[in-house]
Structure 1
């Protein structure tokens, strides 16, 4: 009997130590990143680095496809491409969320899918960041409420900036559903081409859908006026800075403060006034429909 129990204990221990598909994926990804970094240090030709990177991304995409299985969300294809854009830390698109991106066209709606485990591992890596600009909370509930999450997870060369959050009805079976309206930008100021982004957590899946706002987000005169006034003030400070042969740091700082305050005031105004605009019910309905589709309703 003692031998039987010993064998059972050994087998149980072996099963516990067996690598999961997520473990295998992370190990393969980290090895690829290390290999590319080593080749960069050895001054390998760009063509070689590109070929190695493309091969590694294809392998990782295959692993993710096996891990996630076919996507079954209305309006999106069943198969996707890897969300990571590069495995070199010197490239734009490095370090994005591990998952697959599903889209029928480059400018149409897209959806990024991953597992909760991979999302949590990715967030933990961001929580451990020493660069405060890249640091995120480890908890998924808290992270999904931050612009920085979307910037780092699904953006490559621009930052996501929120206009407002939608009050969704959580679809049946979903653990969490968050929807926000905002846009991608590389500068301060109004963003007129905005996106509806909906994140759904359901069981072991995390889905992030993005679609162009329909109808387009309207311009609100009062909000535009806040930005126009702030921009005019900032431009005057900028002119003073340039006239001083770039030595008047106070004018330079004042210009940036004016732009940043104008940007914040503009977004606060939009968040307050847009819900009263005639276009808002359709935008809310768009967000709700995306959430329902992702939940399989």
Structure 2
């Protein structure tokens, strides 16, 4: 009888400590990153690095596909490609959110799917970043309210700036539903390429969809005037900096401050006035439809 209980205990203990599919994926990713770093440290040719990176990403994509299963969201394909763009910390696209990306054409909507567990691990890694500008909170709700989340999670070559948050109705069965209007750009100031971004958390599933705002977000004269005034002030400081042979640090800092403050004021103005514009109900409906589709409606 004692032997039987020992066997039962051993089996139970083994099951309790067995690696989950998420654990296996994370271990494989960490191993791949280490292997790429070793090749870089050995000064291997670029062709060797590219081949190793491509092979490793394909393996990770296969693991994620098995972990996530086929996507069933209206308007998106059933299969996706890995969201990670590089496994080298020297490259743009390193450290993005672990998941699969599903796209509907080059300029159409896209969706990144992951698990709550993988998102939690990713947020924990971002909370421990040495550079404070890259840090994110570990809580999903708090992270979704920050521009830096979207910059780091689902895009690699531009920064996200939010325009406003939509008053979304949480679909039945969803744990979290959050929608934003904003855009990615490599510079501050008005950005006409606005996107509707919706995140839905349901059980262990996490989906982040992004689609071009339809209809397009209109210009608002009062907000454009705020930016024009700030830009004019910044240009004067910039001219003074140029005239000093790039030595007047005070003028340089003042120019950047004027641009940054102008950008903040412009986006606050858009967030205040856009809900009163005729296009807003359609934009809100677009966000709600994305959320509903991700919830299976």
Give yes or no for the alignment of 1:270 onto 2:254. no
Tell me, yes or no, if structure 1 residue 221 matches structure 2 residue 225. Answer: no
1:199-214 correspondence runs (5 A): 199-214=199-214
Alignment of 1:144-223 (within 5 A): 144-223=144-223
TM-score of the superposition, structure 1-length normalised? 0.99
* Distance (whole Å) between structure 2 residues aligned to residue 295 and residue 191 of structure 1: 30
Which position in structure 2 is the counterpart of 1:249?
A: 249
Give, in angstroms, the shift of residue 238 of structure 1: 0.4
Name the structure 1 match of 2:97: 97
CA distance in 2, matches of 1:146, 1:3: 56
Q: Give secondary structure in 2 for the equivalent of 1:133.
A: helix
What are the superposed Cα offsets for residues 182-224 of structure 1, whole Å, 9 maximum, x if unpaired? 0001111001110000000000100000000000000000000
Q: Paired residue for 1:259?
A: 259
| CA displacement 1:17-47 (0-9 Å, x = unmatched) | 2111111111111110000001001000000
State the distance in 1 between where 2:261 and 2:125 align: 32
What residue is the counterpart of 1:38 in the other structure? Answer: 38
Q: Deviations over 1:140-179 (max 9, x none)?
A: 1211111111110001100110000000110001001000
Q: Secondary structure at the match of 1:181?
A: strand
- Distance in structure 2 (CA, Å) of the matches to 1:93 and 1:286: 28
1:13-52 aligned at under 5 Å gives the runs 13-52=13-52
Q: Number of residue pairs matched?
A: 297
Q: Greater shift after overlay, 130-139 or 189-198?
A: 130-139
Distance 2:36 2:62 in 1: 19
Shift of 1:139: 1.3
Question: Superposed, which structure 2 residues align to 1:61-140 within 5 Å?
Answer: 61-140=61-140
* Gap runs ≥5 in structure 1: none
Rounded Cα–Cα distance in structure 2 between residues aligned with 1:228 and 1:142 = 32
Root mean square deviation of aligned Cα: 0.7
Distance 1:105 1:90 in 2: 29
In structure 2, C-alpha distance between the alignment counterparts of 1:160 and 1:188, rounded to whole Å: 10
Q: Work out the CA distance in 2 between the residues paired with 1:226 and 1:144.
A: 27
Q: Which runs of 5+ in 2 are unaligned?
A: none
Per-residue Cα deviation, 1:45-82 (whole angstroms, up to 9, x for no partner): 00000000000000000000000000000000000000
Match of 1:9 in 2: 9
Give distance in 2, aligned partners of 1:98 and 1:246: 42
Structure 1 position 107, deviation (Å):
1.2
Distance 2:106 2:65 in 1: 20
Per mean C-alpha deviation after superposition, the further-off stretch among 136-145 and 201-210 is 136-145
Aligned counterparts of 2:139 and 2:146: Cα–Cα separation in 1: 12
Where 1:125 maps in the other structure, the secondary structure is helix
Shift of 1:104: 2.2
Query: Whole-Å Cα distance in 2 between the matches of residues 142 and 9 of structure 1?
Result: 41
